[in-house]
Amino acid sequence: MTRSPSRTVDYLIHEAHEIITAAIAAENLPVDLDHECGDDCDTCDRLDWLSRAAGSLDVVLSRFDRYSDGRPISGTVEYQHGRTFAYTFPAADPVPGERELTRFALAPFDEGMPSPGQAVIYADDHAGTLRVDLLPGNVIVGRFNR
């Protein structure tokens, strides 16, 4: 693994991570109900192109695991068995100290069961660490993070 050579490359790496995240989100969008897919579907062609470009970008990015200042570029934390939360740390000017990134309801153990609680995800951008708190009960009305 390699450290980024400069602050400029740090910014490029961060923005590339954002593009990959957006491409993955686009792949997971439910297909529009009006979407009538034929052999030459522009929507599907563009999504395929975006997916391939993001995949290539991911291969190039995998060469780097640290920003030029030594901090990790990204991290993951497991919040429920087999389910992880991924985060890309900011490229520059990380604020010391932990802050809440997001909170969401945990997926039920079985179909039709209530959520067993919620996950609260914290990041320390300066230290390059992630932490999860699991709280009992479904205090918030949240989406399930799958």
In the complex, the residues that contact Zn ion under the rule CB under 5 A are 37, 41, 43-44
State how far the Cα of 139 lies from the Cα of 146, in Å rounded to an integer: 19
Considering the complex, state which of residue 51 and residue 74 has its C-beta at the smaller distance from Zn ion.
51
Residue with tokens 């993070």: 145
Considering the complex, state which of residue 43 and residue 56 has its C-beta at the smaller distance from Zn ion.
43
Residue type, 96: P
State how far the Cα of 64 lies from the Cα of 77, in Å rounded to an integer: 19
**4, 68 in Cβ contact below 8 A?**
yes
Q: Taking the complex as a whole, how short is the minimal distance between the CB of residue 32 and Zn ion, in angstroms?
A: 9
Considering the complex, state which of residue 37 and residue 139 has its C-beta at the smaller distance from Zn ion.
37
Q: Taking the complex as a whole, how short is the minimal distance between the CB of residue 19 and Zn ion, in angstroms?
A: 22
Q: Taking the complex as a whole, how short is the minimal distance between the CB of residue 24 and Zn ion, in angstroms?
A: 18
Q: Which residues pair with 61 in a beta bridge?
A: none
